[in-house]
Structure 1
Amino acid sequence: MPLILLVRHGENDYVKEQRLPGRIPGIHLNKHGRKQAKRLAKFLKPAPVKAVYSSPLERTMETAQPIAKAFNLKVIPRERLIETDVGKWQGKKIKKLRKLDSWRKVQLNPSRFQFPGGEHILDCQYRLVQEIEQLTERHDPQDMIVCVSHADPIKMAVAYYLGLPLD
């Protein structure tokens, strides 16, 4: 199985503002996030990276670009690496969401939770695992690939491969 580096996108202003960005288009890395992406590309430069895949959202593509450039590769957008569809919570302040009963539910039993108007947590996990499995089939076992995605989908995939429950 190829070595897969799961990378979370760099900082954006939604993170700083404690907002849940979800899949809102047009959220770009801020200055600090661009620096993070460049530093990561420099750090990875000695590694034998064969491919760079990314969620199609701007903040992930902007994180992936310097990495791909360091290896003379193109970023390959992959729809299944996209952020969890948080539905009606998209763009909301986390401080307000914490007051909801449903916030407590997702924190205590995420495996049973579906975002209002959005994706079920287990569907997100399944989607990301399926993508990783498909990418591993496309590469040789000795290859190293980079997948730039989002915090929650990455956590769910890691939990799956470690055999850990989401709850």
Structure 2
Amino acid sequence: MATLILLRHARSAANGAGTLAGRSLGVGLDETGVSQAAGLADRLAGVPVREIVVSPLQRCQETVAALAAQRGLSPVVEPELSEVDYGEWTGRKVSELTAEPLWKVVQQHPSAAVFPGGEGLAQVQARAVAAVRAHDRRLGADAVWLACTHGDVIKSVLADALGLHLDAFQRIVVDPCSVSVVRYTETRPFVLKVNDTGGDVSGLLPPPDAAKSHSDAVVGGSTGAPEADRV
């Protein structure tokens, strides 16, 4: 049973400016984001991360750079974990987009939302879930690995793992540099943590007999809210 740590990139310059960066090039971390990324080594100090998989975009690459260097890991770039292609919405202010008729669809019926000139959120979920499950199978049982990607991408993966319809994914909050954790098993995924922005997360390590622990338990987290840090 591999354990996936979903890491949203640290706060970017676009987050601070309240714009929907999408796949724009040259969007790096702002001062707050640099500080958040610097704290990752301490937050994950007790976790033996075998591999780091990362979105191709700059803000994600910058988020994991120091952690990867400390661990002696070379991040694996995964295009399928890239940001949503927001098409004509890319680079626009979120405060302007909330007046668009499509915004209500994104909030209330995201499975039907297709961004003009871009992709649909259902398409995002399909590619992201397929990618994380493929890496999870490749890394094998007992691996702990980290995927650094984007808010809406993480929310779609979490919705799948929680057994939620995509139309409910806006209920999930995923802040910049937050950690969410999913453990995939032969029967179903288990969501261990969502939107953790705190300190040490060594408690995320699987127990010595994780299979029995989960068996006993069974028997017995963008385009969300329009605040700047949601993009």
Given the two structures, how large is their TM-score scaled by the length of structure 2? Answer: 0.71
Following the alignment from structure 1 to structure 2, what is the Cα–Cα distance between the partners of residues 87 and 156?
A: 19
Following the alignment from structure 1 to structure 2, what is the Cα–Cα distance between the partners of residues 41 and 116?
A: 39
Following the alignment from structure 1 to structure 2, what is the Cα–Cα distance between the partners of residues 41 and 150?
A: 20
Alignment of 1:147 onto 2:147: yes
Name which one, 1 or 2, has greater alpha-carbon Rg.
2
The number of equivalent residue pairs is: 167
% identical equivalent positions = 34
Root-mean-square deviation (CA), in Å? 0.9
Tell me which residue corresponds to 2:88. Answer: 88
Tell me which residue corresponds to 2:8. Answer: 8
Tell me which residue corresponds to 1:163. Answer: 163
Alpha-carbon contact 1:20-1:89 (below 8 Å) kept: yes
Q: Which amino acid aligns with 1:140?
A: G
Matched position secondary structure for 2:5? strand
Tell me which residue corresponds to 1:60. Answer: 60
Runs of at least 5 residues in structure 1 that lack an aligned partner in the other structure? none
Please report how far the alpha carbon of residue 70 of structure 1 lies from its aligned counterpart in structure 2 after TM superposition: 2.4
What are the equivalent positions in structure 2 for 1:117-132 lying under 5 Å apart? Answer: 117-132=117-132
Please report how far the alpha carbon of residue 13 of structure 1 lies from its aligned counterpart in structure 2 after TM superposition: 1.5
Runs of at least 5 residues in structure 2 that lack an aligned partner in the other structure? 168-231
CA deviations 1:88-142 (Å, max 9, x no partner) are: 0000001110111111111110001101110111110000001001101111211
Q: Which amino acid aligns with 2:120?
A: H
Q: Which amino acid aligns with 1:85?
A: D
Following the alignment from structure 1 to structure 2, what is the Cα–Cα distance between the partners of residues 41 and 117?
A: 38
Following the alignment from structure 1 to structure 2, what is the Cα–Cα distance between the partners of residues 71 and 60?
A: 17
Alpha-carbon contact 2:110-2:166 (below 8 Å) kept: yes
Tell me which residue corresponds to 1:39. Answer: 39
Given the two structures, how large is their TM-score scaled by the length of structure 1? Answer: 0.97
Tell me which residue corresponds to 1:98. Answer: 98
